Amino acid sequence: MKQFVAEIVSIGRMSHRNLVPLLGYCRRKGELLLVYDFMPNGSLDRYLYNKPEVTLNWKQRINVILGVASGLFYLHEEWEQVVIHRDVKASNVLLDGEFNGRLGDFGLARLYDHGTDPQTTHVVGTLGYLAPEHTRTGRATTATDVFAFGAFLLEVGCGRRPIEIQHETDETFLLVDWVFGLWNKGNILDAVDPNMGSVYDQKEVEMVLKLGLLCSHPDPRARPSMRQVLQYLRGDAKLPDLSPLDLSGSGMMLGVQDGFSELGMSYSSSVFRGFTGGSSIADSLLSGGR
What is the sign of the dihedral through the CA atoms of 11, 13, 18 and 24?
Answer: positive
Which residue in the list 37, 87, 236, 241 is annotated as catalytic? Answer: 87
- Over 90: is that where the pLDDT of 234 sits? yes
Q: What is the residue type of 32?
A: L
Tell me what the mean pLDDT of segment 7-20 comes to: 86
Please state the separation of Cα 131 from the chain's center in Å: 10
**Average pLDDT, stretch 108-132?**
73
Nearest Cα to Cα of residue 71 among 142, 18, 10, 149: 18
pLDDT band at residue 120 under the 50/70/90 scheme? low
What is the Cα–Cα distance from 142 to 26, expressed in whole angstroms?
Answer: 28
> Which residues are 166's β-sheet partners?
171
Query: Distance (Å, rounded) from C-alpha 61 to C-alpha 18?
Result: 14
177 a catalytic residue: no
Q: What's the Cα-to-Cα distance from 202 to each of 57, 151, 157, 184, 207, rounded to whole Å?
A: 13, 20, 11, 17, 8
Residues 32-57 have pLDDT tens digits of 888 889 999 999 999 998 777 888 99
In this model, does residue 190 exceed pLDDT 60?
Answer: yes
What's the fold here for domain 42-243+276-287?
Transferase(Phosphotransferase); domain 1 (1.10.510)
* pTM: predicted TM-score of the whole model, two decimal places: 0.80
Give Cα separations from 140 to 116, 156, 181 (angstroms): 13, 23, 28
